[in-house]
Amino acid sequence: SYDLTQPPSVSVSPGQTASITCSGDKLGDKFACWYQQKPGQSPVLLIYQDTKRPSGIPERFSGSNSGNTATLTISGTQAIDEADYYCQAWDINTYVFGTGTKVTVL
Amino acid sequence: QVQLQQSGPGLVRPSQTLSLTCVISGDTVSSNSAAWSWIRQSPSRGLEWLGRTYYGSKWYKDYALSVKGRISIDPDTSKNQFSLQLNSVTPEDTALYYCARAYSAYDSAFDYWGQGTLVTVSS
């Protein structure tokens, strides 16, 4: 089976940049996407096709994907960005989710 | 604006069948540009995709290996909805279950999710 691994937690100060990685075998050969999930809420799509933002997603969220790693970057992190973040990719007729990263804004 | 409204029981007895329904508004289950999935979330397994159905000149269904043989996802065009049936459940199937849309223009990303249904498997 295909696995996507994320760091369990990332801490960031308000206004600073947070980077969340997602590692998988040859992930750069697939499209990666990213979701944000706040407590008690359904996931929200932040990034699709590695770098694209759906309408309504702030510009401070950006993505990249190369080699074995996809990265979600939050620039100018705000307190409202404190949440869980998940990567996801498609592999051989299966949607695969990452292990999730809790972002804490200190 | 697409909305997905889930319904179904929150408690299922072990060995019984878990059944959930997802009603679609703002799109159609037979859309050529969408696939309709069930996903669950638990502390032990994280987010886990269970399966999908989609229409492309005929109906297609794909299931995760972890639940294959126990799962069925069926579209209902008359009610514009799709359903999940998971047979022979055990306490390990206890999770928050979501329905979601994967939009083809977003290349398999889930752009709309249901509100979630907490299903507990217990006697």
Tens of pLDDT, residue by residue over A27-55, are: 999 999 999 999 999 999 999 999 999 99
For residues B79, B58, B63, B116, the Cα torsion angle rounded to the nearest 10 degrees is -20
Among A42, A47, A87, most B C-beta atoms within 10 A, so best to mutate, is A42
Name which of A42, A49, A100 is nearest B46 (Cβ-Cβ). Answer: A100
Chain A residues in contact with B67 by the CB 8 A cut-off are: none
Residue B83 sits at φ, ψ, to 5 deg, of: -130, 160
pLDDT category at B75 given cuts 50, 70, 90 is very high
For chain A, list residues with pLDDT below 50. Answer: none
Whether residues B102 and A95 touch (CB distance < 8 A) is answered with: yes
Q: How far is CA B44 from the centre of its chain?
A: 19
pLDDT digit string, tens, across residues B14-37 = 999 999 999 999 999 999 999 999
| CA count, 13 A, side-chain hemisphere, A84 | 17
Whether residues B49 and A86 touch (CB distance < 8 A) is answered with: no
Whether residues A54 and B106 touch (CB distance < 8 A) is answered with: yes
Say what the pLDDT of residue B20 is.
98
Chain A nearest-CA distance from B107, in A, is 7
pLDDT category at B108 given cuts 50, 70, 90 is confident
Angle at B45 between CA B44 and CA B50, to 5 degrees: 150
Say what the pLDDT of residue B105 is.
82
Mean pLDDT of B29-46: 95
CA A59 – CA B106 distance, rounded (Å): 18
Q: What is the mean pLDDT of chain B?
A: 96
Contact B38, B24 (CB under 8 A): no
